[in-house]
Amino acid sequence: MEHFTIATVAEKSPDFRRVLWTGQRTQLVIMTIPAGGEIGEEVHEGIDQILTFVSGTGEARVAGERREVVQGDLVVVPAGTRHNFVNTGPNPLVLYTVYGPPEHADQAVHRTKAEADAAEAAGQDEPPTA
């Protein structure tokens, strides 16, 4: 059994992205977006994403709509939907997200967005295959 006190685990991570668990059909990832930072506009073809915000304030930009996000909010991003999440506050925007199916390499840790972008560009952040 895997067990996480997820808000506590997410709050303690300084990393931009950290994969906590990868299954055959889903993946659990925690993220910390620094003040003024963002996840970056993207589209996941064939992958649904559910994001839950642990602390901080930000803006969800999903399918052309914008909405403020704060602690306790949850945003669903259906597969094929353009999206971005931007930290609009002075503190880190901390969240956890579930991908279905997995989006990132198992146990991947990216300290910064630049590191995450470089790993993706180099093909080093591919999800496991069945």
Reference 29, options 8, 51, 45; nearest CA is 51
d(CA 7, CA 53): 9
The domain over range 6-122 is classified in CATH as 2.60.120.10: yes
Enter the pTM of the model.
0.95
d(CA 81, CA 59): 16
Q: What is the pLDDT of residues 50-96, one digit of tens each?
A: 999 999 999 999 999 999 999 999 999 999 999 999 999 999 999 99
Instruction: Report DSSP state, residue 112.
Output: S
Q: Where are the domains of the chain?
A: 6-122
Counting every residue, how long is the chain? Answer: 130
Helix (H) or strand (E) holding 117: helix 113-121
Question: What is the residue-averaged pLDDT of the chain?
Answer: 97
State mean pLDDT over 95-109.
97
